[in-house]
Amino acid sequence: QPWLSPTNQELELIVYKTIGSTNQEAKKLALEGAKTGTVIIAEEQTQGRGRMGRSFYSPPKSGVYLSLVLRPEVAAQDAVLLTTGASVGVCRAIKKVTGIETQIKWVNDIYRGDRKIVGILTEAVTNFENGQFEFVIIGIGLNFKQPEAALPKELEDIVGTLFNEKPDALTRNRLAAEMINEVLSICEDLTNRDFLAEYKTHSMVLGKQIKVFRNNEWEVATALDISDEGGLMIKNQFGQIETLNTGEISIRKL
């Protein structure tokens, strides 16, 4: 009996103890033809990758690191929606398994309180002839409990864990399973955009003063709303309203 996704797609689960990067492996397999619904999970990554060319600290046994291969029939401009959908899926999974409410910092960092506990890296390969995705990799890294070794200094004030106390042994498995289920149930059918309203209820930036990083500097702005395409609508420093489709923001400490 195969594993099935919420929309009855067959899943192929590939589990590693240690790997360089699950996203890297998923991309390699997708280039070799891996089907939609292929999932790579690892206990540790030695070369975990983050957004903006950063690395993602992925110590053993204290996190869930996984990547999903999708071959969605959506236009490349809907890429932000996959990212938005993935973060809502992760919030749903955490709530379902642990009862814990989490917040999303646009685009898709997930926080518990003022600490980041989940990072998501979406990578896509596009077919230039029809503008559609060849495939998309959604990589999710959840910091589940305190790692055995001390955190690198530069992460100390930023990164947190879902649990402070020691969770029971099955919780990690259930979180991995539900993250896969919930993310796929949203991302396999982006015609249903109900998740956008849910995204807004989790957003920790709406109505706030923020800083936007572009042209190599931080600009002051106010976060107003999330567009139907998952973009962040802001009022910029000149009072004009614009929509950001990708990028990096920080919440201004007043």
**Distance in Å, CB of 111 to ligand BTN, minimum:** 11
Measured distance CA(90)–CA(100) in Å, rounded: 12
Closest to ligand BTN by CB, 26 or 222: 26
**Environment class of 69 (CB within 10 Å of its CB; exposed 0-12, middle 13-18, buried 19+):** buried
Residues 6+ apart with CB under 8 A from 93: 175, 178, 179, 181, 182, 183
Cβ-based nearer residue to ligand BTN, 139 or 222: 139
Residue 12 Cβ vs ligand BTN, minimum distance, rounded to whole Å: 17
Parallel, antiparallel or unpaired: strands 115-126 and 133-143: antiparallel
Nearer to ligand BTN, 63 or 231 (CB): 63
| Smallest gap from residue 205 Cβ to ligand BTN (A) | 16
* 28 vs 241, beta carbon nearer ligand BTN: 28
Least distance in angstroms from the C-beta of 23 to ligand BTN: 4
Say whether 112 counts as a known binding-site residue: no
Residue nearest to ligand BTN (CB): 119
Token digits of residue 88: 């809502």
Q: What tokens were used for 28?
A: 């390699």
Annotated ligand binding at 92? The verdict is no
Consult the annotation and say whether 27 binds a ligand: no
- The whole-angstrom separation of Cα 159 and Cα 114 is 9
Binding residue per annotation — 50? yes
- For ligand BTN, give the closer residue by CB, 73 or 157: 157
The label of the residue with tokens 């999710």 reads 140
Spatial separation of the C-alpha atoms in residues 12 and 71, rounded to whole Å: 14
Residue 23 known to bind ligand: yes
Q: Closest Cα to residue 140, out of 82, 199, 87, 62?
A: 87
CB of 121 closer than 8 Å to CB of 56: yes
22 is in an annotated binding site: yes
> Shortest approach of ligand BTN to residue 238 CB, angstroms?
30
| 200 marked as binding residue | no
Q: Site residues (CB under 6 A) for ligand BTN?
A: 21-23, 45, 48-51, 54, 56, 58, 65-67, 109, 119-121, 139-141
Annotated binding site for biotin: 21-23, 45, 49-51, 116
Annotated binding site: 21-23, 45, 49-51, 116
